[in-house]
Amino acid sequence: MGDVKRTDEIQGEIIHVYDGIEEADNALPMWWLWTFYGAIAFAIGYWFVYEEFEMASSTPELFAEAMAARAAAGEVDAETLQVLAGDAATVAEGRETFQTTCAACHGAEGQGQIGPNLTDDAWLHGGGPLQIYGSILDGISSDRARLAGSSGMPEWGAALGQRRVQAVTAYLLSVRNTNVQGGRPAEGEPFDPNASPEEREAETPEEAPGESEHAVTGDEAPPGA
């Protein structure tokens, strides 16, 4: 390294040399400077608009709002439920409903009590978004109950309404695989998030004749849950 001052015909004034690499001191092109200054101005403006003052919704928030609107209109699909599981407000609403409606059987954190653990990766009737949603909505009849001594789980659709059933589903999807300490041992089959809907259906127990198309779930508890 050394300070060598000379003027190169192409590079201009050479001010330093490091291991044979020459460093010149040339003025940056105006287009580069304006691009740099513009990027800084955009970042500052973006921060204040979207983060500091929340004057506009971000793209993920707009997507979540669109999914929530679809859900409110009665359009329920796996993608919508999965998106709702990433929406903090929906998950908080679902947790509140879970605490007052489901915790008596499934535990305050979903770790299982007289009902199964909902925080591991095993599900008695399938752990897909629509399967969980259908279980809460339609319940588990006694002839489909898989826990020893269980008479199934009541259907909660009429009591909670579709929106709150969606919220509880979103909450359960958010706590799936969190493995709360002290929970019940895993019961049922592991849920494979990469399996296709057809593969998931094949892995879940067959429904009894006349059961709802949604009646496949990991929620199962005695009546009164």
Q: What is the pLDDT of residues 120-155, one digit of tens each?
A: 999 998 888 999 999 999 999 888 888 888 888 999
Q: What is the DSSP letter of 163?
A: H
Pairwise CA distance, residues 155 & 10, whole Å:
80
Strand partners, 123: 189
CA distances (Å), 38 to each of 26, 27, 50, 53, 141, in order?
A: 21, 18, 18, 21, 62
Q: What is the pLDDT of residues 46-92, one digit of tens each?
A: 999 988 888 888 787 787 777 777 777 777 888 889 888 988 989 99
Pairwise CA distance, residues 87 & 191, whole Å:
22
Q: What is the pLDDT of residues 157-212, one digit of tens each?
A: 999 998 899 999 999 999 999 999 999 998 888 888 777 766 665 555 544 333 33
Compute and round to an integer the Cα radius of gyration of the chain.
28
At 23, the pLDDT band (50, 70, 90 cuts) reads confident
108 has a pLDDT exceeding 80: yes
Looking at residue 209, its pLDDT comes to: 34
Residue type, 78: A
Looking at residue 97, its pLDDT comes to: 96
Pairwise CA distance, residues 65 & 68, whole Å:
5
Helix intervals (H) in the chain: 30-46, 59-72, 78-84, 88-101, 103-106, 129-138, 157-175, 197-203
32 has a pLDDT exceeding 50: yes
At 3, the pLDDT band (50, 70, 90 cuts) reads low
Looking at residue 41, its pLDDT comes to: 96
Tell me what the mean pLDDT of segment 107-115 comes to: 92
SS3 call for 140? strand
